Amino acid sequence: MPMSNISYPHPVLGNGDDINNGEVSPEIEYEISDEAIHLKVENLKTGHSDIDKMLVNGTACWHLRTQCPRTYMRQSFLLDSEDRTITLKGDNYEGAVEIEISVVAQVGVKDYQPTDMHSDYGDAKFSLQPGELIAVGPRYAIHVDKVYDPLKAPVSSLIRITYGSHASGPFEVILDDDLITIKLSKADWTEYDGIRDRAPTIVHSSIILPVLADAIRTIDQNTHTLWGGRLKELLAKKGIDQNYPLAAAQEVLASPISRTFNEVNQRLDRAEA
């Protein structure tokens, strides 16, 4: 996704038609595990003779920034080669991760006048301070899906969360239909919609866990439903005893309380850091 045009005090390659020659379009490959995210960045070239020369002589360097809205983690890296591998700590990233790549000045530059500037600049020359932007590329995005999510796991075809007609108050549960349907009040739906992708484990503990436990408790009365038959098969396949509904639900959801405690503590630690 290209960045929106911004007015800079000097021409920036990749910012609209500031400079009419060259392009920042590196290639990014990645491997994701619970422990780490490995980013492989290739083709770090601009195709602009002046800027590429600055990169070679150390006047400028590549800058890569990662940002994760869910965990609030931001990191910056200076890259000094055309191809580079970066390793991110897996615990720090979850959900959508945005990656921005640009070229910045490493030292002060006087009389900066890149070739092929837009004609509006005329014969102007510019002074750059260390860290100032010289070229900018598109934003990249990857998705780190490490957290167990019952709405994406085997339970995905069994539970639906929606909103009911009531403005406020407790959520409603419908168990005599093909799907287990959870109807939030309109007020709660608004709040839920804002956090369901940012704090999934909290959603699991506060909504999914009690509802799933209640569903398991009544499963023998609901085997005629789609969810009843599939959930019973899932419990049997995993060897989970349905006679203890709350414990069974926690097994199906992979210890949601423990994951919630861990997530909340990580967020509090980051906020206090």
pLDDT at 152: 56
65 or 4, which is more confident?
Answer: 65
DSSP sequence for 18-70: SBSS-----EEEEEE-SSEEEEEEE----S-HHHHHHHHHTSEEEEEEEEETT
pLDDT-based confidence at residue 70 (cuts at 50, 70, 90): confident
> In this structure, are strands 73-79 and 172-174 parallel, antiparallel, or unpaired?
unpaired
Most confidently modeled range among 5-14, 27-36, 115-124, 142-151? 115-124
* pLDDT over threshold 70, residue 2: no
The predicted model gives 66-78 an average pLDDT of 88
- Which of 46-50, 113-117, 203-207 is least confident? 203-207
Contact 96, 70 (CB under 8 A): yes
d(CA 255, CA 252): 8
Percent of the chain scored above 70 by pLDDT?
92
* pLDDT over threshold 80, residue 211: yes
Tokens representing residue 55 in the block: 């990169």
Domains of the chain: 27-144 (2.60.40.10), 154-272 (no CATH)
| Terminal-to-terminal C-alpha distance of the chain | 32
Tokens representing residue 45 in the block: 């070239």
Which residue carries 């580079």 as its tokens? 84
Instruction: Give the contacts of 217 (CB within 8 A, at least 6 positions apart).
Output: 245
pLDDT at 148: 47
pLDDT-based confidence at residue 194 (cuts at 50, 70, 90): confident
Burial level of 93, CB count in 10 A (0-12/13-18/19+)?
Answer: buried
Q: How many CB atoms lie within 10 A of CB 155?
A: 21
Q: How many helices (H) and strands (E) does the chain have?
A: 7, 12
96 or 145, which is more confident?
Answer: 96
Contact 134, 108 (CB under 8 A): no
The predicted model gives 42-49 an average pLDDT of 91
134: nearest Cα among 66, 67, 48: 48
The predicted model gives 56-78 an average pLDDT of 90
* pLDDT over threshold 50, residue 55: yes
pLDDT at 5: 62
H-helix or E-strand containing 257? helix 256-272
The predicted model gives 221-232 an average pLDDT of 89
* Positions of E strands within 53-146: 60-68, 73-79, 84-89, 95-105, 109-112, 126-128, 133-144
- Which of 57-66, 163-172, 239-248, 251-260 is least confident? 251-260
Percent of the chain scored above 90 by pLDDT?
50
Query: Which strands, in side-by-side order, build the sheet including 159-163?
Result: 159-163, 180-184, 172-174
pLDDT at 170: 93
State the average pLDDT for the chain. Answer: 87
* pLDDT over threshold 60, residue 4: no
pLDDT at 49: 94
d(CA 177, CA 122): 71
* pLDDT over threshold 90, residue 64: yes
